[in-house]
Each structure stands twice: as C-alpha cells, then as structure tokens.
Amino acid sequence: MSRRTSPPSAHDVARVAGVSQAAVSRAFTPGASIAKDTQDKVFRAAKSLGYRPNLLARSLIMGQSGIVGVVYGGNPRNPFFMSVLDALLKRLSRARKHILIFTVEGHATADVHVEDLLKYRVDALLLMATTLSPKLAEQCRDAGIPIIFFNRRPPKKDFASVIENNREGARQIAEHLLQQGYRRPAVVAGLAESSTGRDRESGFIAHLTSQGLPEPEREVGYFQREGALQAARKLLARKPRPDAIYCVNDHMALAAIEVARYEFGLEIGRQVGVAGFDDIEQASWPSFDLTTYSISVESIVDQAAMLLLGTPGHEIPRHSVVDGVFKPRRSTQRV
Amino acid sequence: MSRRTSPPSAHDVARVAGVSQAAVSRAFTPGASIAKDTQDKVFRAAKSLGYRPNLLARSLIMGQSGIVGVVYGGNPRNPFFMSVLDALLKRLSRARKHILIFTVEGHATADVHVEDLLKYRVDALLLMATTLSPKLAEQCRDAGIPIIFFNRRPPKKDFASVIENNREGARQIAEHLLQQGYRRPAVVAGLAESSTGRDRESGFIAHLTSQGLPEPEREVGYFQREGALQAARKLLARKPRPDAIYCVNDHMALAAIEVARYEFGLEIGRQVGVAGFDDIEQASWPSFDLTTYSISVESIVDQAAMLLLGTPGHEIPRHSVVDGVFKPRRSTQRV
DNA sequence: GTGAAAGCGCTAACAT
DNA sequence: ATGTTAGCGCTTTCAC
C-alpha cells in the first residue's frame, strides 16, 4: 500500500527475515547451499515486502545480462519478419533469455545499435537482414559475444550464420517454371546490398541460362511493395511480354500478382506465372495462391537459438544453411 | 587484436589516460564539468582500449535502465502489430530508450513477463492488446513505473491508456452500411476478453439497433484468420443470408472477403458488403479494397511515447482516445 | 549452513 | 576542473 521511492533490496529483506543479506541472495539462487528453513523465512519476508532481485546488479557481477540483442533491417512491412520475431521470442523465453530489439532503416548497418547493445553487456547478438561493419563484428567476437547473421551472409566467414538455401530454392523455382512451359521468365530483384537477394536472383538466373535460356529481363523491387509494383509494371509493359515473373520474396510477388491481374487484366498462371520466396502466410490465401519456396520459420529459429545459446565466451562459429520446401501453387499453373 | 576475458572498465581507461576514474565518468557524461583537454585524453585512451561505458552499472546507480518493456498479446499474424512495433521502435530510439520485448500466448495475462521486466528495473511498460493483474499493475505504479495500456482498457481507471476510438469507428461503419442500403449486416466478433473487440462490436450493434434494425447475426472469430474463415462460412450459409459482414478487425475481414468470393462465389460489395477495422496495409490492396476505420499508427504511437517518456516516478495517469478516419472502399459499394 | 567482507563498474557528493 | 570517497544491490570467497 505504501508508496516507496525505491524498491526493497536484499538488505531490507534480510532485516525482516532476521538473516544476513548473503542468505537472501542464496535463497534466490537455485542450487545454493541454504537450509530449507532459512529459505522459507527469506521467501516470506520477500513476499511481504514485494521484493524482486535486481537483475541489473546481478548482471553487473556476472558479466552477462540474460539479454539477447536483435537487430533487424529490411522492410518492416514484410510479414516474414514478424513470424521470425515471434518464433524467436517464444524460443528464447524458454531459455529465460530476453530480447532487446532494434531496427535499422534503409541500407544502414546495425553499428549504432550494436554499440548500445554492447554497453548493456548482452549475451548474444542476432542480426536479421542487416549487416555490421567488420570492425565492430570483431570487437563483439573479442568480447566473447556470439553474433549470428540471420538471413545475411556475415562479413567474414568466421562469424556464425543461419541462412536459407536461397540458391537451391531459386533453382527449384526456375526448374519448375521451365517445366510448366514458361519461356520468358523475368526477375524482380531485391537490393544489391542483400546477400539473400543476390543469391535468390543468381541461383535463378544460373539455372535458366544453364538450360539454354537467355539472361532474363530484370527490374529491381528493393524488397518493397512500391518497388515491386513499379517493377512489375515495367516488365509487363515490355514487348514481347515476359510470360512469368519471379520475385525474390513473396511480399513483392503479391504486388506483382495484383499488377498483372488488376492493371493488365492478365490471368495469373495461364497468361503470366508468378513465383515468390519465403512462403509467408498470405502466399497460401486463395487470392494469391502463390508458388514459392517455403522456409520453415521454426527450423531457422531453432538453428539460431542453438548458436545464440551456445556456451558464452567460447562459441564455435558455425554456418547453417537451412533447406526449405518448394511449394507449387496455382500462380504458376499453366492450364 | 588481443582477446580479453572481460571488457575494459573506466578504471583501465583512467590508468592509460593518467586521470582519475571519476574523470572518465565525467568525460562520458554530457554536460559534466570537465576540461576539453582532459576529455580528449580520456577519449583517446578509451578508443585505444575499446572502452564502452557499462550501462548496467550506470543503471544500477541511477535506478533506471533506459529500457522500456513492451508486452504484446493478441495474434502475432496481425500485421497491425508489426506496424506499431516498428513505429514505436523508431519513436523511442529518438529518445534513446530501448525496448525489451515479450509476447504472451493465448488469453494469458502479461504477469509473468512483467515480473521479469520489473527485475530489470525498466523505466516504463507498454502493454499492447494484453492485460495485467490489478495487483501487479498496482505494484508497478507503486514502484513509480509508468504503465500504458495500449489497445486495451486498463484494469482500473487510474492507469494510463491509449485506445482508438473504437465505438465511434464502429458507429461510422454501421452508419455507412445503412446508407449503402445493407439491411442484414452480420458481425464477426473478436474475443470476449478484449475490450477493443467488445467496443468495436457494441458500438456497431448499438448504432444499428438505434436505427431500428434488429440485433445482427453474430459469430466469433477470435481475431484469428482461422476463426474468421469459419465465422464467415457459418454466417454466409444462413438463410436468409446476411448482406454485409462487419469484422472487428481487418485481418479477419480479409478472410471474410475470401470466403465470400472464393467459396460462395459472391461479388464483394454488390452481393455482400465487407468492412473491417484498423486499415492495415493489405486493406488498400486491389484484391481486397476493404472499407475500414483507419487508425494512424503514428499518432497512437506518439501518444504512447508521451506517456512513456513522462517524468519518471511522477507520471500523470492519462487516457487518450485516438480518433481514426473512416475509409469507405469498394468492399461496401453496393452498385 | 551461515555471516562478514570484498568488489562488480559506475555516479554523485564532497573536498580541494 | 579534478581527485577522493562512498555507495548502488547484488554474488562470491572465506571463515566459522
């Protein structure tokens, strides 16, 4: 009931319980050597005071905070991010880790935020669809902070990463388009800065040309809806018109479908095939029914969690390339 | 180059710079009284050591951490959340505040996570589409931690909140449906536990009945796509069939549109009107062109930020009800 | 099993 | 303007 200025400390609890402050600490440390009796006294006193151990103080001593830093770049409108964030939140919460989250705008690196994160002595760092300057990355490693590049190739190979098998997915999509009889597929690219975008593009093109097709037409969509709308418009206005459009993510592919259907009056699949990448929730909606390469959010998050939670200070840099599953749908069904 | 076990401290910097440890502290405290000369020495030493002030230590003393806790409930698939989170991230980052984020699953309260947040001595708390037990809420207030209920009515009126004008939005939608000539509008409700859902529903129903219509048919969609699909199916199978469906959020309305269009072969607008609430990005896509009540994410986030950043310890509990803008679109255009 | 004491890295008086 | 000193709330030896 009484309004205090500062929360009760272990000392306060100790007074009330009639024990030493150290005993209070032990009572709240699982596995510490303390008599059941003393612990009960402490707990009762703690409860009556509304005591909660100050994690800042504990972290100060232990040198680690129980906090994992997450920095994401790219387009926040992309539903894929929210799925990943949500899965990560649930996964790390099981490991009693908390997430300090940041976003970087545009093509900037995560550097500014990582500086802050280091000041909080975070236990690990996850960089999602964004990069870090090699210098800072090295400082993190020297400080013993595991850093995971998620959805982006790391600046140097000795940093851990979790990446989808972008080139393979792109290859499968290309192969499927060929088998469906499309002969003039075009590409909507992402961003030159993004390794993910580059891989999804080059894997696609490589397969097409290996099968004797010429370099496909290409426009840049910047991973954004706006960009994809314009890219699709330009591509579909060309003569001869591409008979298929592959976008390096679903988010852009949905835009392409709408341009083709509502602006050009084309029937998706029969008159123009559209394919994406990610298998976001909307891809399976009847309005789109988008052919795509499905990334299992659970499995990439699991991989990332393993790397993040690895023994602190002595992480083994690793790279996992997570395979997805090709999902043919109506958007590339010719008949 | 050398791999250290623990990061350099202010003491280390002081040694190298040939000053006292306090001087180092001052050098990194904006506005502290320190000679430009000394500061330079400190900065040089700091840079050479790769020193970064330990924010945990600073927070321990200051009693506040620079961290704001955000707990969100509801359906993480709802794009509205990501927009809000993103806007909040940008807004708070300007105030040099960081966000520790949590999610609660199902109908649970935010209690577990708030316990953790209190242990980190967060400066403020934002609860989005979720609630807190009155007891914990009071403990937060007693600890001087501002707590904002976002998108949810607080357990007691003396807690701050930022809420959209749900009843008014619902009223405008009802009025619009009437004017468009719809006479048998049905409702897809949210969750009984959600004040937002209840307000959006009751505001709608209240206006209809005030205009002489009978209580509308009603199904529960639980704010989820799955739930909305089923609700829409049930409603559209009734005889006589409702001539309009109002869903208490856009996310569910998109599902309703697809059921009506692809499963019942109905023409949206002419044969069945569909309206939502929120104005998420997809609402304006040509595939849906959904009539809705538009909430400005920027403005609600601004409101929330003002409350969050209010003088710590002495926040003035306040309630802002943010008006939106009614957006008539083709999904309720009769002709 | 328990208490006393040292100290994590920093800020904030208090001197000078 | 700068150094000295005393903590912030905890964990961790080290005695006992």
- DSSP code of residue A243: S
Q: Is B63 on the interface with A (CB under 8 A)?
A: yes
pLDDT digits (tens, 9 = 90+) for B180-197: 999 999 999 999 989 999
Are the C-beta atoms of residues A38 and A23 closer than 8 Å to each other?
yes
String of DSSP letters for B213-258: PPPPPEEE-TTSHHHHHHHHHHHHHSSSPPSEEEESSHHHHHHHHH
Nearest to A266 by CA among A242, A292, A286: A242
Lowest average pLDDT, out of B35-39, B103-107, B232-236, goes to B103-107
Reported as half-sphere exposure (CB side, CA atoms, 13 A), residue B111 has a value of: 8
Report the length, in residues, of chain B: 335
Largest CA distance in chain B: 87
Domain ranges in chain A are 10-53, 66-164+297-322, 166-296+326-332
Are the C-beta atoms of residues A51 and A13 closer than 8 Å to each other?
yes
CATH 3.40.50.720 fits B66-164+297-322, yes or no: no
Average of per-residue pLDDT across B227-245: 97
Q: Is B119 on the interface with A (CB under 8 A)?
A: yes
pLDDT of residue A2: 45
What residue type is assigned to position B88 of the chain?
Answer: L
Nearest to B160 by CA among B170, B169, B168, B150: B150
Look at A101 and B115 and tell me if their CB atoms are within 8 Å: no
Any bridge partners for residue B125, and if so which?
B69, B147
pLDDT at B256 over 70: yes
Report helix, strand or coil for B14: helix
Candidate from B76, B89, B286 with C-beta closest to A262: B286
Any bridge partners for residue A161, and if so which?
A149, A319
Cβ-count burial of A21 within 10 angstroms (0-12 exposed, 13-18 middle, 19+ buried)? middle
Q: For B102, which residue in chain A has the nearest alpha carbon?
A: A89
Q: How many angstroms separate the CA of A315 from the C1' of D14?
A: 33
Reported as type and span, the H/E element at residue B22 is helix B21-27
- DSSP code of residue A53: -
Average of per-residue pLDDT across B138-147: 90
What percent of chain B has a predicted confidence (pLDDT) above 70? 97
Lowest average pLDDT, out of A29-38, A272-281, B278-287, B324-333, goes to A29-38
Those residues whose beta carbons lie under 7 A from strand C are A 19-23, 26, 33-35, 37-38, 57, 60-61, 63; B 6-7, 9-11, 21-22, 25, 28-29, 51-54, 57-58, 60-62
Look at A7 and B98 and tell me if their CB atoms are within 8 Å: no
Report helix, strand or coil for A98: strand
Q: How many angstroms separate the CA of A21 from the C1' of C3?
A: 9
pLDDT at B314 over 60: no
Query: What's the angle, vertex CA B125, arms to CA B122 and CA B131, rounded to 5?
Result: 135
Which CA-bearing residue is nearest the C1' of C5?
A: A22
Query: In terms of DSSP bridges, do strands A292-294 and A273-275 run parallel, antiparallel, or are they unpaired?
Result: unpaired
A 92-111 → B contacts, CB under 8 A:
93, 98-103, 105
Min Cα distance A289 → chain B (Å) is: 12
| CA trace torsion B166, B171, B172, B175 (10° rounding) | 160
Look at B116 and A102 and tell me if their CB atoms are within 8 Å: no
Whole-Å CA distances, B262 to B233, B254, B265, B267: 11, 12, 5, 9
Look at B4 and A67 and tell me if their CB atoms are within 8 Å: no
Report helix, strand or coil for B42: helix
Those residues whose beta carbons lie under 7 A from strand D are A 6-7, 9-11, 21-22, 24-26, 28-29, 51-54, 57-58, 60-62; B 18-23, 26, 33-35, 37-39, 57, 60-61, 63
Chain B residues in contact with A55 by the CB 8 A cut-off are 116, 119-121
Candidate from A76, A225, A286 with C-beta closest to B86: A76
Contacts of B177 (CB under 8 A, 6+ apart): B185, B244, B246, B273, B275, B332
pLDDT of residue A158: 86
CATH 1.10.260.40 fits A10-53, yes or no: yes
Q: Is B2 on the interface with A (CB under 8 A)?
A: yes
Chain B residues in contact with A285 by the CB 8 A cut-off are 254, 258
pLDDT of residue A311: 58
Average of per-residue pLDDT across B102-117: 92
Whole-Å CA distances, B273 to A127, A188, B219, B261: 44, 35, 16, 11
Give just the sign of the alpha carbon dihedral A25, A31, A32, A34: positive
Region of A149 (left: φ > 0; alpha: ψ -120 to 50; beta: rest) is beta
The CATH classification number of B166-296+326-332 equals 3.40.50.2300
Whose tokens are 């999902």? That residue is: A327
Query: What's the angle, vertex CA B282, arms to CA B280 and CA B288, rounded to 5?
Result: 120
Query: What's the angle, vertex CA A327, arms to CA A322 and CA A333, rounded to 5?
Result: 150
Listed as ranges, the nucleotides of chain C within 7 A of a protein C-beta are 1-5, 7-13
Structure tokens at B318: 């306040």
pLDDT of residue A316: 65
String of DSSP letters for A140-192: HHHTT--EEEESS--SSTTSEEEEE-HHHHHHHHHHHHHHTT--SEEEEE--T
| CA trace torsion A294, A297, A299, A302 (10° rounding) | 160
pLDDT classification of B262: cutoffs 50, 70, 90: very high
pLDDT along chain A (335 residues), means of 10: 72 95 95 92 95 96 95 89 94 95 91 95 94 92 91 90 96 98 97 94 98 97 96 97 98 98 98 97 98 94 90 66 96 93
Look at B89 and A101 and tell me if their CB atoms are within 8 Å: yes
Q: For B229, which residue in chain A has the nearest alpha carbon?
A: A285
Residue B240: is the preceding peptide bond cis (ω within 30°)? Answer: yes
pLDDT classification of B222: cutoffs 50, 70, 90: very high
String of DSSP letters for B105-171: -TT--SHHHHHHHHHTT-SEEEEES----HHHHHHHHHTT--EEEESS--SSTTSEEEEE-HHHHHH
d(CA A249, CA A228) in angstroms, rounded, equals: 10
pLDDT of residue B284: 98
Global pTM?
0.92
Same-fold call for B66-164+297-322 versus B166-296+326-332: yes
Report helix, strand or coil for B332: helix
Structure tokens at B45: 């030493």
d(CA A39, CA A37) in angstroms, rounded, equals: 5
Whole-Å CA distances, A60 to A328, B23, B58: 52, 21, 10
Look at B54 and A60 and tell me if their CB atoms are within 8 Å: yes
Q: Is A135 on the interface with B (CB under 8 A)?
A: no
Q: For A105, which residue in chain B has the nearest alpha carbon?
A: B90
pLDDT classification of B150: cutoffs 50, 70, 90: very high
Q: Is A121 on the interface with B (CB under 8 A)?
A: yes
Residue A286: is the preceding peptide bond cis (ω within 30°)? Answer: no
pLDDT of residue B32: 86
pLDDT classification of B10: cutoffs 50, 70, 90: very high
Look at B5 and A116 and tell me if their CB atoms are within 8 Å: no
Q: Is B60 on the interface with A (CB under 8 A)?
A: yes
pLDDT of residue B158: 86
Chain A residues in contact with B76 by the CB 8 A cut-off are 82-83, 86
Average of per-residue pLDDT across B37-45: 95
Candidate from A7, A98, A119 with C-beta closest to B53: A119
Spacing of C-alpha A298 from chain mean position: 11
Min Cα distance B7 → chain A (Å) is: 6
Chain A residues in contact with B65 by the CB 8 A cut-off are 56
Look at A50 and B139 and tell me if their CB atoms are within 8 Å: yes
Chain A residues in contact with B63 by the CB 8 A cut-off are 6
d(CA A226, CA B40) in angstroms, rounded, equals: 47
pLDDT at B316 over 80: no
Averaged pLDDT score across all residues of chain B: 93
- End-to-end Cα, chain B, rounded Å: 72
Q: Is B306 on the interface with A (CB under 8 A)?
A: no
d(CA A119, CA B212) in angstroms, rounded, equals: 63
Chain B residues in contact with A313 by the CB 8 A cut-off are 5
pLDDT of residue B259: 98
Are the C-beta atoms of residues B49 and B1 closer than 8 Å to each other?
no
Nearest to B130 by CA among B88, B177, B70, B188: B70
How big is the A-B interface in CB pairs under 8 Å?
139
Whose tokens are 């739930």? That residue is: B227
Candidate from A2, A54, A82 with C-beta closest to B76: A82
Query: What's the angle, vertex CA A130, arms to CA A127 and CA A134, rounded to 5?
Result: 80
What residue type is assigned to position A151 of the chain?
Answer: N
Rg (CA), chain A: 26
